[in-house]
Amino acid sequence: MKLEHIGIAVKSLGISDELFTKLLGKESYKKESVEREGVTTSFYAAGESKIELLEANKEESPVSKFIDKKGEGIHHLAFGVENITKEIERLKKEGFEFISEEPKEGADNKLIVFLHPKSTNGVLIELCQEKQ
């Protein structure tokens, strides 16, 4: 397992893209809308990992609810895995709870699943696997 990316919830992708472009000294390499999750994303390479900015494009999206409750900031940590199905089974046996146990399509050509924060010290954890 490796840290694949850090997800950051933002109110305005335009403003945040400008900030992170200045901060990292480079442009976003990919922007993508994930309608099922109600977000638009912007990705930045950061060493061997990435930063994913997430802007809600629907009021009822999880990111919109997150910002309403906690404000902008770190939304999740994502770990890349070779086999998401095996990792789900392994972590279930270890007692972790999932928001959903079925992998779904996410941004950046990934299959994703989220562990429930109540089983991970309050941190939303995403597992992601490159789609074959």
Question: In CATH terms, is domain 2-130 a member of 3.50.50.60?
Answer: no
pLDDT over 70 percentage in the chain:
100
**Residue-level pLDDT at 63:** 96
Q: Tens digit of pLDDT for each residue in 59-114?
A: 999 999 999 999 999 999 999 999 999 999 999 999 999 999 899 999 999 999 99
Q: Tens digit of pLDDT for each residue in 54-74?
A: 999 999 999 999 999 999 999
Q: For 26, phi and psi rounded to 5 degrees?
A: -155, 160
Domains of the chain, by residue range, sit at 2-130
Largest Cα–Cα distance in the chain? 43
3-state SS class at 99: coil
The CA–CA distances, whole Å, from 61 to 8, 24, 40 equal 14, 28, 11
Which pTM does this prediction carry?
A: 0.92
pLDDT higher than threshold 90 for residue 132: no
**Cα–Cα distance for residue pair 130/18, rounded to 1 Å:** 28
